[in-house]
A and B are shown apart, each in its own frame.
Chain A
Amino acid sequence: RKEVEQDPGPFNVPEGATVAFNCTYSNSASQSFFWYRQDCRKEPKLLMSVYSSGNEDGRFTAQLNRASQYISLLIRDSKLSDSATYLCVAPSGAGSYQLTFGKGTKLSVIP
């Protein structure tokens, strides 16, 4: 099983839609997770951190299910500017400061 697996995408959604991305991780000892956003040919930038059951920041909600080793990212009221690749990120091991990145899910928000 790959360490971090994401929906392959791409997701093409109209403006205003709600879209959800899923991610599974293999290391059951992991406690903190991240969603990064990466625009085309740019560097990854932190979108959200998830340390407990979930986190909400405006239109973005991240949820964590430790029993199923599953993380999700929900984007409500999609904007054109949300078009990007979203990377799910988990620690590489228990107590590890290193991170493993998923391959990312590409989102295109269409007018």
Chain B
Amino acid sequence: DAMVIQNPRYQVTQFGKPVTLSCSQTLNHNVMYWYQQKSSQAPKLLFHYYDKDFNNEADTPDNFQSRRPNTSFCFLDIRSPGLGDAAMYLCATSRDPYPGGQAKNIQYFGAGTRLSVL
């Protein structure tokens, strides 16, 4: 049974047309992450939520935004997709039971959304 669910699995959008990707989890994890992965590259962290606190990576473009209305759901909004934003977008979750400590945090990934920009 999928514990981190991403929708849609495939998304096609037009250049400049806003798009929203969704992620939900049944694990009750307090941390949720959004990664971008391009072919033959490592997953690149865009931002994450620690509970309700949003943490943006310094090099994440302003074009990317995120919302976490509750523990279970997190959204990735791409305001004006460009051709360079075509990629696999991965949502992941983890539980940090020991804030400030070296937690043995395993991240669980959703199946990803593959975004194409025409």
In the assembled complex, the CB of A5 is this many whole angstroms from the nearest CB of chain B, namely: 11
Of A30, A49, A94, the contact of B106 (CB 8 Å cutoff): A49
Whether the pair A41, B114 counts as a contact (CB closer than 8 A) is yes
Decide: A97 near B31, CB < 8 A? Known: A32-B102, A43-B112, A51-B104: yes
Interface size class of B (residues with CB under 8 A): 20 to 34
Interface-forming stretch among A12-20, A60-68, A70-78, A101-109?
Answer: A101-109
State how many residues of chain A have any CB contact under 8 Å with chain B: 24
Is A1 an interface residue, CB under 8 A from the partner? no
Whether the pair A45, B109 counts as a contact (CB closer than 8 A) is yes
In the assembled complex, the CB of A8 is this many whole angstroms from the nearest CB of chain B, namely: 10
Give the B-binding residues of A (Cβ under 8 A).
4, 30-32, 34, 41-46, 49, 51, 87, 91, 94-95, 97-99, 101-104
